[in-house]
Amino acid sequence: MSELSVNHLLGIKYLNESDIQLIFETADHFKEVINRPIKKVPSLRDITIANLFFENSTRTKLSFELAEKRLSADVINFSAAQSSVKKGETLIDTVNNILSMKVDMVVMRHPNPGAGVFLSKNVKASIVNAGDGAHEHPTQALLDSYSIREKLGDVNGKNIVIVGDILHSRVALSNIFALKLQGANVKVCGPKTLIPKFITSLGVEVETNLKKALEWCDVANMLRVQNERMDISYFPSTREYTQQFGVNKALLDSLDKEIVIMHPGPINRGVEITSDVADSKQAIILNQVENGVAIRMAVIYLLASKIKQ
Ligand code: CP
């Protein structure tokens, strides 16, 4: 297979296993490109991409912009805080105004779950979801799986635990879809109040004892507690959360094997993960960020190939 089964990247749940393998093989090529002295290819000189960020971002926004520029696409950036959205313009009107400037692809982060799907049904452009509320963050899950594949050789058959605030996490949901598609065994671990009841219907197990979860896994993906999406308290205090669900070096050293530590960022050092773990050789957090550029180049390149047909 040499093309994606989809015209948009709205979520991992719309992809199949062959799509993921195609994205990884294409990312392998682009990873080699971005490690050359000249890190750029002319592939998308005829494509214009708008990055629409209605919610804060550091990694995803910069990573998409760099990926687009390394493919030689024309790039425009839009930040909701400085836009006419503040004057009451609708999402569809905003995007159609941008598209009338001959834009081919829209990369969008939005606080509302399903915003990307909504846009794909109402405007004529290829849409890439850069995170929609607590729903999906597909390129994060792709770069996470790609980083596991790079570190451990394969995702299939590996034991992966996702730790923390599963309830509010688009990273958790997209990772679960991606990991299950590739044949990984997945557990989630965190306070019961931060684990949605539907989660087991996705084929994952719940483990509320962090030490047991770490003893079982090959990889622990540590998530941030998303206080900005909470209107009530889900646990008594940050200190108690850290005591039960934070990973520190002493805990890792007490295991009888060395596990891989991941984190999508931004990190709350000293809450879900201590600095000595975040900066240790076991952590592949900065490899994840590096791989994000190659993965996003692959996604944009493969979607643009479909626009050109
Ligand atoms: N991992 C992630 O989505 O980070 P940002 O919010 O900084 O983009």
| pLDDT at residue 111, as a whole number | 93
Ligand 1 centroid to Cα of residue 58, in Å, is: 6
Ligand 1 centroid to Cα of residue 265, in Å, is: 6
| pLDDT at residue 195, as a whole number | 96
Q: How many CA atoms lie within 13 A of 107 on its CB side?
A: 30
Architecture of the domain whose range is 138-288: 3-Layer(aba) Sandwich (3.40)
Is 193 within 8 Å of 235 (Cβ atoms)?
Answer: yes
Question: What pTM was estimated for this model as a whole?
Answer: 0.95
Q: State whether the beta carbon of 174 lies less than 6 angstroms from ligand 1.
A: no
Q: In what order do the strands lie in the sheet with 126-132?
A: 74-79, 48-53, 105-110, 126-132
Query: Which pLDDT tens digits describe the chain residue by residue (309 residues)?
Result: 689 999 999 999 999 999 999 999 999 999 999 999 999 999 999 999 999 999 999 999 999 999 999 999 999 998 887 777 778 889 999 999 999 999 999 999 999 999 999 999 999 999 999 999 999 999 999 999 999 999 999 999 999 999 999 999 999 999 999 999 999 999 999 999 999 999 999 999 999 999 999 999 999 999 998 777 777 688 878 899 999 999 999 999 999 999 999 999 999 999 999 999 999 999 999 999 999 999 999 999 999 999 877
What topology is assigned to 12-136+290-307 in CATH? Rossmann fold (3.40.50)
| pLDDT at residue 1, as a whole number | 60
Distance CA 110, CA 131 (A): 6
Distance CA 214, CA 260 (A): 10
Ligand 1 centroid to Cα of residue 135, in Å, is: 14
Q: Where in the chain is the domain with CATH 3.40.50.1370?
A: 12-136+290-307, 138-288
AA letter at 138? P
Q: State whether the beta carbon of 180 lies less than 6 angstroms from ligand 1.
A: no
Is 291 within 8 Å of 31 (Cβ atoms)?
Answer: yes
| pLDDT at residue 86, as a whole number | 77
| pLDDT at residue 140, as a whole number | 98
| pLDDT at residue 167, as a whole number | 94
Q: What radius of gyration, in Å, describes the C-alpha atoms of the chain? A: 19
Q: How many helices (H) and strands (E) does the chain have?
A: 11, 9
- Beta strand 105-110 pairing with 48-53: parallel
Distance CA 64, CA 48 (A): 13
| pLDDT at residue 205, as a whole number | 98
Distance CA 233, CA 12 (A): 30
